[in-house]
Amino acid sequence: AQTVTQSQPEMSVQEAETVTLSCTYDTSESDYYLFWYKQPPSRQMILVIRQEAYKQQNATENRFSVNFQKAAKSFSLKISDSQLGDAAMYFCAYRSADNNNDMRFGAGTRLTVKP
Amino acid sequence: DGGITQSPKYLFRKEGQNVTLSCEQNLNHDAMYWYRQDPGQGLRLIYYSQIVNDFQKGDIAEGYSVSREKKESFPLTVTSAQKNPTAFYLCASPGRVKGAPVYFGEGSWLTVV
């Protein structure tokens, strides 16, 4: 079974600074998809960014970007110019391409943004 | 707009009672999931269904039951056998297209009183 590991239960960053959240995963598949979700205090899950395993180019969405290292099975999220509204729980997720309904989440990283 | 609707948002259960959380989707998705989230913790899979009239246990199915009589609906019953049911419950459904994101409901808070 695929596992997703987020080794940082908590992180903090100063407003306007950059922070990187780590995620590693274990899989024997070659085709899959990776996601980062944000869960603010409202608890609504919000998709932040998506990466396809076959694409070497790292995905970017405004201030959010990933460092995808397929060989190392690493998928970190970089948040640039951190804002107070970025404070949330962040979940890394893996979705199989072979089994479209197989999706696993990491345990999450709680990000605090200091003014 | 298409989406996932969970109800109620807040629910209180007395000891020994069964309660049912509703999850409805109008996305025409085949698969639906139930997750449990304890305070400050990640998501744990309770049950999932890939098609109508079929469902499978997830990692923490004990004390829970589900049904999938309609494509749009996947209710979760928290039975009295669940010894510690106080948690936040999320219903989700993965997009049908390969690699599509998972859509989530807004969640339901269950508290035992």
pLDDT in tens, B29-48: 999 999 999 987 889 999 99
Strands B32-37, B43-51: pairing is antiparallel
Distance to chain B for A25, nearest Cα, Å: 15
pLDDT score recorded for residue B40:
78
Q: Establish if B61 touches chain A: CB-CB under 8 angstroms.
A: no
Tokens 């072979």 map to which residue? A98
Q: How high is the mean pLDDT of chain B? A: 92
What does the alpha-carbon distance between residue A79 and residue B77 come to, in Å, rounded to a whole number?
39
Look at residues B31, B1, B35 and name the one whose alpha carbon lies nearest to residue B21: B35
Helix (H, G, I), strand (E, B) or coil at A84: helix
pLDDT score recorded for residue A1:
58
Q: In chain B, which residues have their Cβ closer than 8 Å to the Cβ of A44?
A: 104, 106-107
Residue B106 has pLDDT above 90, yes or no: yes
- Which stretches of chain A score pLDDT less than 70? 1-2, 100
Nearest chain B residue (CA) to A107: B42
Q: What is the largest CA-CA distance in chain A?
A: 44
Tell me which of B48, B50, B104 to substitute to probe the interface with A (most A C-beta atoms closer than 10 Å): B104
Distance to chain B for A80, nearest Cα, Å: 23
Q: In chain B, which residues have their Cβ closer than 8 Å to the Cβ of A108?
A: 41-43
Summarised one tens digit per residue, pLDDT across range A78-89 is 999 999 999 999
Give percent above pLDDT 90 in chain A.
Answer: 83
φ, ψ dihedrals at A84, nearest 5°: -60, -35
CB-based contact A95 B104, cutoff 8 Å: no
CB-based contact A103 B94, cutoff 8 Å: yes
